[in-house]
A = this chain, B = another copy of it.
Amino acid sequence: MQNIRYTNDVAAALGDALGADAARVVWIVDENSARHVLPALRCVAPDAPVVTLAAGDDHKTLEAARAVWDAMEAAGATRQSVAVNVGGGMVTDLGGFAAAAFKRGIRFVNVATTLLGAVDAAVGGKVGVNYHGLKNEIGFFAEASDVIISTRFFATLPDRELASGFAEMLKHGLLMGATAFDALLDVDLKAYDDEALLQQVRASVEYKLGVVRDDPREQGVRRALNLGHTVGHALEALALRQGAPVPHGYAVAWGLLAETVISHLTLQFSSELVYRLGHFVRDVYGVPAVTCDDYPALLELMRHDKKSRAGEINCTLLAACGDVRIDQTVNAEDVRAALDITRDLLGS
């Protein structure tokens, strides 16, 4: 069972999680967390070796895992060593993979330093690397013994990074219910309160863990987590194809708006909430570069989404906040209408 600690006193929590194992630490960081985060934590294990990875998902490779293993061996790591992964999803995915395969698995601890890492990658036990450009192609399930989640280091992130992670929280909020969702729409990402945001992150992580626990193999309720992703993936793929890639979280935010519009058209989801979400998304994420000429391409991408079957478009929809309907078939006219309304709400 993972021990998840939500705290902004990260060094103390890490010291507590490690106990006597602090003497047997290997730090795994990337260039960013090495600069912005490690100095604040290093006191927990000042003499421990540091493995610094090149930042970015491009570097989440088997070669980087080998570099970790080589460094561990050079440092004399044993089966009693503990890897402390400090960073976003790239560091926790790769560091977890390297640790869980070293000598058939050593203990590892994740310190999530990005919002997306906190709400998505650091908990839940998926570890792995990309291979031949395929995301997470090589990997397995292995849980960090402890995960430390804080908002303290988010200020060191670029704005886009924070906004990207927040889209995942918006999704969880829509799935959790009106109270949680409302509170998220009140957050000002340019001037948030560390402790208040930490409690919202906590609620988001706990929600996701509950869903994953109820449906580990993604056969039912876990598909709720696909909310926003049918339209979102299509927008992301189109932008990539047009040579102007957008962050995944931005595409998800636009996708969430479009799919709440579809939910309004087909399941009477509240128009007031659609408007409020529209305002928030416009302010934080801006407008996707889409015209009605792009609709055929977007519809085609949605029909080929891995959730879809037999050329039909499949979405997770909402009858209300917290009232989820998975596996909904949506017709093309409703999608086109929703894209029109979404663009209108975003003022494009």
Contacts and interface: CB of A to CB of B under 8 A. Distances in A.
Most chain B beta-carbon contacts within 10 A, residue among A73, A138, A140? A140
Contact of A100 (B105, B131, B140): B140
| Count of identical protomers in the assembly | 2
Given A66-B62, A140-B140, A140-B142, A73 B104 contact: no
B62 A104 contact: no
A132 B73 CA distance: 10
Contacts of A139: 101, 103-104
A269 interface: no
A74 to B, nearest CB: 10
A166 interface: no
A141 interface: yes
Interface string A34-66: 000000000000000000000000000010001
Interface in A1-26: none
Which of A66, A101, A126, A137 gathers the greatest number of chain B CB atoms within 10 Å? A101
A69 B138 contact: yes
A105 B73 contact: no
Nearest to A102: B138
Interface string A96-129: 0000111111000000000000000000001010
18 contacts: A62-B62, A62-B66, A69-B138, A70-B132, A73-B132, A73-B137, A101-B101, A101-B138, A102-B138, A103-B136, A103-B139, A104-B126, A104-B128, A104-B139, A104-B140, A104-B141, A105-B141, A140-B142
